């Protein structure tokens, strides 16, 4: 068994080697449960700039087949799939202080600052920006109205002020302070 220990990434190496011995590339899509598919669809379009790609389960033919409502919305080159769970139960909770699971979107350093300001202007609490100890990424964190944890990050040199995660008094992402009731905020 290999001993796990701290491994610090070299600056600028994030995209230097993206090869994979099995041919796996980037994320194609990820799926999120939602209790309110209309709210989640609107949040992704308005807050994340999502573009509708494929929606199913909304017409009579799909309902007769028992097909669940589900949507795919493109954010950048990634598809976000959202669906209402058949049993109505979700593991996503606004009161979950843990960092995983969360989804991160890549932005430029300038877009990181612009998105933080834009999110706050929409009444969405944002934590960050944060630098990460031992790696050259800067991140900001926020949540969907239902508590889906989201991150925007840049691997470009960042010259703005940023807290260091893990530093005294900073700790980790304060997820419980990031809850909101968008668009009713």
Q: What is the model's pLDDT at position 10? A: 80
- Contacts of range 34-40, beta carbons closer than 8 Å, 24 or more positions apart: 34/82, 34/83, 34/84, 34/90, 34/146, 35/84, 35/85, 35/88, 35/90, 35/146, 36/145, 36/146, 37/69, 37/70, 37/71, 37/82, 37/83, 37/84, 39/145, 39/146, 40/82, 40/144, 40/145, 40/146
Q: What is the model's pLDDT at position 41? A: 97
pLDDT digits (tens, 9 = 90+) for 115-171: 999 999 999 999 999 998 778 899 999 999 999 999 999 999 999 899 888 767 777
Is pTM beyond 0.95? Reply is no
- Residue 99 scores a pLDDT above 90: no
Q: Which domains does the chain have, with CATH numbers?
A: 29-83 (3.10.180.10), 102-178 (3.10.180.10)
Query: How high is the mean pLDDT of the chain?
Result: 90
């Amino acid at each position: 068994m290999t001993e796990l220990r701290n491994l610090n990434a070299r600056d600028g190496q994030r995209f230097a080697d993206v090869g994979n011995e099995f041919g796996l590339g980037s994320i194609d899509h990820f799926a999120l449960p939602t209790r309110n598919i209309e709210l989640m669809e609107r949040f992704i379009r308005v807050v994340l700039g999502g573009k509708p790609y494929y929606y199913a389960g909304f017409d009579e033919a799909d309902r007769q087949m028992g097909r669940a409502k589900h949507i795919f919305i493109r954010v950048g080159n990634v598809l976000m799939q959202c669906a209402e769970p058949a049993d109505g139960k979700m593991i996503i909770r606004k009161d979950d202080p843990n960092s995983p699971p969360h989804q991160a979107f890549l932005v430029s350093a300038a877009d990181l600052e612009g998105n933080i300001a834009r999110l706050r202007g929409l009444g969405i609490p944002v934590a960050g920006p944060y630098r990460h100890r031992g790696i050259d990424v800067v991140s900001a964190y926020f949540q969907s109205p239902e508590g889906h944890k989201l991150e925007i990050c840049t691997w470009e040199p960042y010259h703005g002020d940023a807290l260091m995660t893990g530093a005294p008094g900073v700790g980790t992402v304060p997820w419980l302070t990031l809850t909101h009731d968008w668009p009713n905020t």
